[in-house]
Amino acid sequence: MRIGSTYVLPVTSVRDLGLYIDCDVSLQTHVTTTVRSCFAALRQIRNVRQCLPQHALLSLIRALVVSKVDYCCSVLAGVSRQLLYRLQSILNAAARLVFSVMRSERITPLLRELHWLRVPERITIRLCVPTHRCLNGSAPAYLAEKIRLTADVESRRPPSSKVVHNNNACRSAGAEI
């Protein structure tokens, strides 16, 4: 493609504010790079684990790993289960590293002990908290004007029930936003 006197070649993905967007908007590149960098950080942390108390280890994992999983996770609403599973594998490995348990150990009790949500629940909460703030008046005006409360006349619900409608985004989060 030519723009003016410069030739521009198309690319398969672009990075904007740390979020990789594929040409098909599947976010597979974003998940792949996140998984790669998180597992690299976990390998480095594993090397110094013996020298750290558990609270320092947990702080390090939260700062270097969990923060990367949480970054822009609301954009991941509606992605495939396979991509969510790959992100969940990061949290599972981090929890196993914190508690020094084998891969065969059950992960759910470890995640509960750490008070960590699974990736689909993390995505849902990242969508629901701003919605709740908008409805209760604690969100900025530019965001609150995008979400309004209306009666849902066309659904199977009774006419008195209410549904939150978002004008632009977040429709595939599993909740009615």
What confidence score (pLDDT) does residue 96 get? 97
Q: Domain ranges in the chain?
A: 2-116, 126-166
pLDDT number for residue 171: 43
Give the CA radius of gyration of the chain: 20
Per-residue pLDDT, 169: 43
Per-residue pLDDT of the chain (177 residues; tens, 9 = 90+): 888 899 988 889 999 998 999 988 899 999 999 999 999 999 999 999 999 999 999 999 999 999 999 999 999 999 999 999 999 999 999 999 999 999 999 999 999 999 999 999 999 999 999 989 988 889 999 988 888 777 543 555 555 555 555 544 444 443 344
Minimal CA–CA distance to 58: which of 1, 96, 20, 85? 96
Whole-number pLDDT of residue 144: 86
d(CA 28, CA 83): 7
Provide the whole-model pTM.
Answer: 0.78
Q: For tokens 């409805």, name the residue.
A: 135
Q: Is 4 left (phi over 0), alpha (psi -120 to 50) or beta?
A: left
